Amino acid sequence: MSALVTSLPGYREPAARLAKALDLPFTATDVHRFPDGESKVTVPATPPATVVFCQSLDRPNDKLIELQLACATLRDLGTERILLVAPYLCYMRQDKAFHPGEAVSQRIIGRHLASLVDGLITVDAHLHRIHDLHAAVPLETAINLSAAPRLGEFLAGRVENPLLLGPDAESEQWVAQVAAAGGFDHAVATKERFGDRQVRIHLPDTDFRARTVVLVDDVISSGYTIAEAARAVRAAGAATVHCLVTHPLFAPGAEALLREAGVAEVWSSDAIVHASNAIHLADMLAATLQPLL
């Protein structure tokens, strides 16, 4: 056995799909949580020289510790090369200290991950002031893929002649790529933020009347931005509003908020496991991994 794929609990189905796409075995890494909150991690007992650790890092605090325990144990058991496939990469938004004493989490977590693994593949990393993943995760192999082509292909087979809308300037790169993949019209709104849960959306000079509008973004967390965008386009005459996202983080109450705002369907990739998952990324990830194996 030259290589295998493993994952922590909670991401086993996407990891198993990746193993199948790579024609590699999948062997789970188990985690037992003690009553005091500590974790006991058990990796495959006889790992090969190369291990692909497929693990999305949403809700990351426990997972980062468990990943560290797993990688250290794999090294102790003789694994020479660990390739981390983290379709959602955590702690990327804080890339500078805005006030004295603030931790720059992107730099700290990026260096930590680089100390654990030999290569990293992620999807639509939430980068702001840097545009090269290597600057956040100092590894020779640090690859940031885009799910946009897969999302565009999915939408082309699902919705006829939609108008794609990015809810803010940060979403422009994603909505443009998804639109290009499907040959769709697209536009981008602007956003004023007054707090984590208070935003105002200003629509572009676009005719939304009687259109099927698909709101596109890389991440949905609280849902407030997308909900405000949905209300705005419905008020502007849109016939139907859907939502398409790479990373369905969805804080508690976010889905209900979107429904109340008039969003009919929510579609997401399996970069994060969620009931809205409609687009599997295994083939895309496997195509990038194969040459590294």
* 0.75 surpassed by pTM: yes
Residues serving a catalytic function are: 191
Residue 196 has pLDDT above 60, yes or no: no
Residues paired with 243 in a beta bridge: 215, 266
Domains and CATH numbers, the chain: 3-145+281-292 (3.40.50.2020), 148-270 (3.40.50.2020)
> What confidence score (pLDDT) does residue 285 get?
98
For 76-112, the pLDDT digits (tens) are 999 999 999 999 999 998 878 889 999 999 999 999 9
DSSP H or E segment with residue 21: helix 12-22
pLDDT tens-digit profile of 106-141?
999 999 999 999 999 999 998 877 778 999 999 999
Give the pLDDT score at 1: 61
Averaged pLDDT of the chain = 93
Q: Of the given ranges (187-201, 255-269, 272-286), which has the lowest mean pLDDT?
A: 187-201
Residue 168 has pLDDT above 90, yes or no: no
pLDDT value of position 192: 74
